Homo-oligomer: A and B are copies of this chain.
């Protein structure tokens, strides 16, 4: 399968280049970047030296991108910009996997409420599938446009959705705390994200209404069959990659870790990247870096009548590029793990 990455100068784009050049069933025909067009990929992304031969960044005007001889296009672009590419690509009969937020939400209104601008293509929004492979069956037949979920949502939805569907937890009182590595802020020249400011630092940000809250609550609500309103507290910690989420939820009835473990085991028994751990083991970002897995576990707290669910993932792989490749594998009929282990 011939693939193209549109907007490959950031950390998610770079991870996609790495994954797709190593994918046994994919030929990466082009990597575009507005700012780096014409430059050597190996020089601009030196971690990929020796892996990208003499590939150069292609220009990324919409016309040039649409004209590329590729079947699937990964959009690693800012929200707003991604939609500008998705529409003509879908019209031209291409498959699109969008890593931005443009097509993740169910309504243009919610998009506008969280992203501060009218949705750029409400019609196309209706056609897109939320691309979390552990929750939705993905195929090009259902839609040529996969909206690949964000990093925080993946770490929260994979463990919680089955519990809501199974009625094991209440929809009220959910409090999710997440700790993210700094790459989650993207590649940028900014004093705030400079080494000396972020090193030896731990800090909350974006309270109380981080943008990812919109897709988290929408997906939890779909699972629960009704509105779900949660508290979501993102933090930055001094590491390059990874997200660790710790989620406090009220048990229906007396909390029973075994019931949760059984629910997950049943739901995810065939899923290679959703990885429940035994109660008492806590997923550690350090063990997920470089992997497309999301690990998670539960502790029952009889004192509070709550479960504590913890999860961890690599924000640039399961939380971005790896998840997008996983979606492509499923849509294309490849083995789900191709190029991901």
Contact = CB atoms under 8 A, between A and B. Distances in A.
A238 B182 CA distance: 12
A33 interface: no
A240 interface: yes
Q: How large is the interface on A (under 10, 10 to 19, 20 to 34, 35 or more residues)?
A: 35 or more
Interface stretch (A64-72, A297-305, A327-335): A297-305
Contacts of A183: 196
B199 A191 contact: no
A116 interface: no
A110 interface: no
A291 interface: yes
Contacts of A209: 301, 303
Interface stretch (A135-143, A159-167, A226-234): A226-234
The quantity of this chain's copies bound in the complex is: 4
A286 B237 CA distance: 10
B49 A275 contact: yes
A298 to B, nearest CB: 10
Contact of A200 (B179, B207, B239): B239
Interface stretch (A94-102, A124-132, A241-249): A241-249
B237 A238 contact: yes
A284 B246 contact: no
A275 B47 contact: no
Given A189-B191, A207-B308, A200 B202 contact: no
A152 B46 CA distance: 22
Interface string A274-291: 010000001111111111
Contacts of A237: 179, 202, 237-239
A130 B118 CA distance: 55
A291 B201 CA distance: 14
A272 B231 CA distance: 32
A283 B203 contact: yes
Contacts of A196: 11, 182-183, 187, 193, 240
21 contacts: A47-B286, A49-B275, A49-B287, A50-B293, A173-B173, A175-B175, A179-B179, A188-B194, A199-B240, A200-B289, A202-B286, A203-B283, A203-B285, A204-B244, A204-B282, A208-B299, A209-B303, A235-B244, A237-B238, A238-B238, A238-B239
